[in-house]
Amino acid sequence: MLGNKKILLSMVIVFLGPLVAAWLFVEFGRDHMPLGEAARGELIHPARPLQPFEIELPLSGKKLDRSFFNGKWTYVVFAPGSCDDSCVDNLYKIRQVRLTQGGNERRIQRLIVFTRSVDIDRFREILNEHIGLVVAEDTHHSVGGLKSQFDTGGASRGVGDSIYMIDPLGNLFIFYRNNADPTDMRKDLTKLLHSSQIG
């Protein structure tokens, strides 16, 4: 009987341990985050849980909602109805940073959100260079949308001027400006993946 209780307790620890660690990660802010003050990006403190939303997936005609972020570290890039040079550069950065993670690549996903209807045929040439990139459209700009949840403040910077990272619990917690060094992004991501038991 005692042996069964020990087995049950061990199972509880195994399954709940990562969730408790993740809660502490979010609840107690950057001083307890693996990145701490050494983060190369700009930490959002406290981390910001994404609210429910639903946006379009133009390639499949399906919907994308908050559950998309569950269990994965996600880079998010916003763009208008086309992908300009800055957008292309950001997509290149998040692709290359992901590729540097070796066996941990599977823990990372990439999302581009167009804030106006995108011409998929024109975008396809770029898309062909970014296998696995998820393409979405958010034309709500208000209730039920996603873009409005990524406003990090600053009159001189719009949502489309940054690369964002969502943790596997659906929290926005760090972003990088367009001029961010991908080497710095790689160092942050490597540290996160090494330290985290989630995602």
The enclosing domain of 32 has a CATH number of 3.40.30.10
Q: Check whether 166 has a pLDDT greater than 60.
A: yes
Q: Which domain holds residue 53?
A: 2-195
Q: What is the pLDDT of residue 198?
A: 78
Is 145 within 8 Å of 55 (Cβ atoms)? yes
Mean pLDDT of 35-42: 70
The helix/strand/coil state of 44 is strand
Q: What is the pLDDT of residue 197?
A: 76
Place of tokens 């981390």: 47
* Rounded percentage of the chain residues whose pLDDT exceeds 70: 75
Q: Check whether 50 has a pLDDT greater than 60.
A: yes
Output the 3-class SS for 70-129.
Answer: CCCEEEEEEECCCCCHHHHHHHHHHHHHHHCCHHHHHHEEEEEEECCCCCHHHHHHHHCC
**13/20 Cα distance (integer angstroms):** 10
Check: pTM over 0.85? Answer yes or no. no
Confidence of residue 28 (pLDDT cuts 50, 70, 90): very low
Lowest mean pLDDT among 83-87, 124-128, 155-159, 190-194: 155-159
Q: What is the pLDDT of residue 48?
A: 93
Q: Average per-residue pLDDT in the chain?
A: 83
Q: Check whether 124 has a pLDDT greater than 60.
A: yes
Lowest mean pLDDT among 62-71, 107-116, 136-145: 136-145
Question: Domains in the chain: how many in total?
Answer: 1
- CA-to-CA dists, residue 57 to 15, 62, 108, 196, angstroms: 33, 5, 19, 30
For residue 5, count CB atoms less than 10 angstroms from its CB and return exposed for 0-12, middle for 13-18, buried for 19 or more.
Answer: exposed
Mean pLDDT of 49-77: 95
Q: What is the pLDDT of residue 79?
A: 94
Q: What is the pLDDT of residue 32?
A: 35
Q: What is the pLDDT of residue 29?
A: 44
